[in-house]
């Protein structure tokens, strides 16, 4: 199975080197990485220079640059147009996969009826603060929900059967919607682990979560497609199993719920006011990835 990996990057000098090293050292048996395409979306830091150093050492690494930032969705369209493999992998530039994650993620695509697969993101944030607890709780809920109905983000693999996606703020979910509308199945691969870092400040958490919720509402309106986490009831129902009688955890759980609900309120306001999140402001605290 030949695959093309796409990394959409905007000012990712803090992590792009570690990500490329992780991808180039993947343990592979049935999968062959044909190319790793970094689409640098108007980066102004050292991202491009770092990628060019890798290009000198490994011909499979390629770089697409642009002088003006156009947003992740349109950058993905450049990747889809350029990629030459029948299987495409899309990984966020601020994540790190385990050494066997790419193969585990792609293997289910050998089945004719499977069109897209999603990994299992695990935050590196410690749980000893309100924001660390909130981030870990959120991703634990996403994991539990994805076991029944996959939620897409961070690291996905899909069959190269779509030409482009709309200029959306929720690109992975848009890809999943297009693939499933072609009659193919979506699969969650829990053992395809990818590490990310959640926001460490309330400001960054609200900025990130409101954009995502607004994008989900737009996708629902325009394409009649609902992501499994858009339902407040679905979130709260799964939250019950994570409740801890520890007083501090109960307080933090309440705080996490209030933050998420406030972010969704802001996202709803953005949706009705038609705020464009396609080119979004970066949540800086998510970029200092350490594992």
3-state SS record for 93-109: CCCEECCCHHHHHHHHH
Q: Any idea which architecture 2-282 has in CATH?
A: Alpha-Beta Complex (3.90)
| CA within 13 Å, CB half, 283 | 21
How far is 137 from 114, CA to CA, in rounded Å? 29
DSSP state, residue 281: P
In the three-class reduction of DSSP (H, G, I as helix; E, B as strand; rest coil), residue 131 is classed as helix
How far is 89 from 158, CA to CA, in rounded Å? 6
- Domain extents for the chain? 2-282
Look at residue 291 in the predicted model and tell me its pLDDT: 44
Q: What pTM was estimated for this model as a whole?
A: 0.93
Q: Digits of tens for pLDDT over the chain (291 positions)?
A: 999 999 999 999 999 999 999 999 999 999 999 999 999 999 999 999 999 999 999 999 999 998 889 999 999 999 999 999 999 999 999 999 999 999 999 999 999 999 999 999 999 999 999 999 999 999 999 999 999 999 999 999 999 999 999 999 999 999 999 999 999 999 999 999 999 999 999 999 999 999 999 999 999 999 999 998 887 777 888 888 777 778 888 999 999 999 999 999 999 999 999 888 877 677 788 876 664
> For the purposes of burial, counting CB atoms within 10 Å of the CB of 79, is it exposed (0-12), middle (13-18) or buried (19 or more)?
buried
Look at residue 280 in the predicted model and tell me its pLDDT: 67
Residue of 229, 243, 230, 228 lying closest to 271 (CA atoms): 230
Q: CB of 173 within 8 A of CB of 152?
A: yes
Look at residue 234 in the predicted model and tell me its pLDDT: 78
Q: CB of 194 within 8 A of CB of 127?
A: no
Look at residue 78 in the predicted model and tell me its pLDDT: 96
């Amino acid at each position: 199975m030949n695959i093309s990996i796409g990394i959409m990057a905007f000012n990712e000098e803090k992590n792009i080197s570690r990500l490329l090293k992780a991808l180039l050292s993947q343990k592979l048996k049935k999968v062959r990485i044909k190319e790793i395409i970094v689409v640098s979306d108007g980066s102004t830091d050292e991202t491009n220079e770092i990628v060019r150093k890798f290009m000198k050492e490994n011909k499979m690494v390629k770089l697409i640059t642009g002088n003006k930032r156009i947003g992740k969705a349109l950058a993905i369209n450049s990747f889809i147009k350029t990629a030459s493999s029948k299987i495409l992998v899309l990984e966020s530039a601020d994540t790190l996969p385990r050494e066997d994650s790419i193969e585990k993620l792609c293997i289910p695509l050998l089945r004719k009826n499977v069109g897209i697969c999603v990994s299992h993101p695990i935050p590196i944030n410690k749980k000893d603060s309100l924001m660390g607890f909130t981030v870990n709780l959120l991703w634990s809920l996403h994991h539990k929900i994805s076991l029944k109905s996959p939620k897409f983000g961070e690291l996905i693999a899909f069959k190269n059967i779509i030409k482009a996606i709309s200029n959306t703020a929720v690109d992975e979910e848009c890809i999943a919607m297009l693939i499933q509308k072609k009659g193919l199945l979506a699969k969650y691969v829990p053992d395809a682990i990818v590490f990310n870092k959640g926001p460490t400040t309330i400001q960054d958490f609200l900025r990130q979560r409101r954009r995502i919720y607004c994008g989900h509402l737009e996708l629902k309106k325009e394409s009649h497609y609902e992501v499994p986490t858009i339902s407040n009831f679905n979130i709260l129902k799964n939250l019950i199993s994570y409740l801890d009688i520890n007083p501090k955890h109960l307080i933090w759980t309440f705080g996490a719920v209030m933050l998420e609900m406030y972010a969704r309120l802001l996202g709803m306001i953005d949706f009705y006011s038609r705020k464009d999140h396609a080119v979004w402001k970066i949540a800086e605290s998510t970029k200092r990835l350490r594992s």
